[in-house]
Amino acid sequence: PTPPGKRPESKARTPIRYGTLGSRDAARSPQTLVEVTSFAAINKFQPFNVAISSNVLLLLDFHSHLTRSEVVGYLGGRWDTNTQLLTVLRAFPCRSRLGDAEAAGAVEEEICQSLYLRGLSLVGWYHSHPFGPALPSLHDIDKQMDYQLKLQGSGNGFQPCLALICGPYYAGNPGVESRIAPFWVMPPPEQRPNDYGIPMDVEVAYIQDGFLTNDVLQEMTLLVEFYRGAPDLVKFQEQWSQDQTYLDKLKGSLASRTPKDQSFTHILEQIYGLLRHSS
């Protein structure tokens, strides 16, 4: 029997190696998960460097824990053409449902405004696989390829777009910490235009922020409000494992992503209190 709160994984979600995919096949499920390939394995260098601030991980990990459904958000930051460094500074959670196109449009517009006001560029996106591994599906790979082409834009040279996948409740995670996995898609070789893009593992430097910003705290509070009373809201008082509730699990996962300054702890406790009452 599976431990309480952990769902048995369906067989369909067993990841496959990219090399076994072959050409595009309409019969293949777009939800098929694909293992990522390292640049070293194909004798290539990663074409850009990435640094991600801990507040980004804290917020997207928090977002991913709240619901049993997939969540999505955008990543704001800066791209320095001289150093080829992509710095991810801020996560922008989408407070909308995946199927709600109308709301999604409004939310995206708001996020664009928010980026602009902070002098940040759109540098990527994140989404969650609540109970599955943090590996891209064929659908994710195609979506990421689209984003990469969009962000590359016209004439202003190369600008990378980073994808992050968060797997908060995957039974295969070693401990309470979510796996947050960055990936980037390499186009298939020119002589094989009908192949899928190749999902590449991206090496990242993680930078611990000095303190928790009001921005992040406000986003956390708004997220709790957004999912309050939703049928797919995680029930945080329930047992995640024999000795831990879902709330303990969330706290444990966020612990490694907190800033240096610990004076914010009481504010986080208030947010956890809101979660206790809303689920």
pLDDT at 182: 98
Domain annotation covers residue 88: yes
pLDDT in tens, 44-94: 999 999 999 999 999 999 999 999 999 999 999 999 999 999 999 999 999
Burial of residue 161, with CB atoms counted within 10 A of its CB: 0-12 exposed, 13-18 middle, 19 or more buried:
buried
175: closest CA among 236, 234, 233, 254? 254
pLDDT at 100: 76
228 and 202 assigned to the same domain: no
147 and 241 assigned to the same domain: no
193 and 251 assigned to the same domain: no
21 and 146 assigned to the same domain: yes
- At residue 231, the 3 state secondary structure works out as coil
Structural domain containing residue 222: 214-278
Domain annotation covers residue 2: no
273 and 154 assigned to the same domain: no
This prediction has a pTM of 0.92
H helical segments located in the chain: 54-65, 101-117, 138-152, 214-227, 246-255, 265-278
169 and 247 assigned to the same domain: no
Contact 205, 101 (CB under 8 A): no
Q: Which of 187, 207, 227 is the last residue of a domain?
A: 207
As for how many domains the chain has, the answer is 2
pLDDT in tens, 260-275: 998 888 889 999 999 9
227 and 202 assigned to the same domain: no
Contact 114, 154 (CB under 8 A): no
pLDDT in tens, 182-224: 999 999 989 998 999 999 999 999 999 999 999 999 999 999 9
164 and 236 assigned to the same domain: no
51 and 127 assigned to the same domain: yes
150 and 256 assigned to the same domain: no
- CATH number, domain at 115? 3.40.140.10
- At residue 98, the 3 state secondary structure works out as coil
Q: Which of 157, 172, 207 is the last residue of a domain?
A: 207
155 and 274 assigned to the same domain: no
Any idea how long the chain is? 279
Residue type, 277: H
- State both tokens at 16: 């496959």
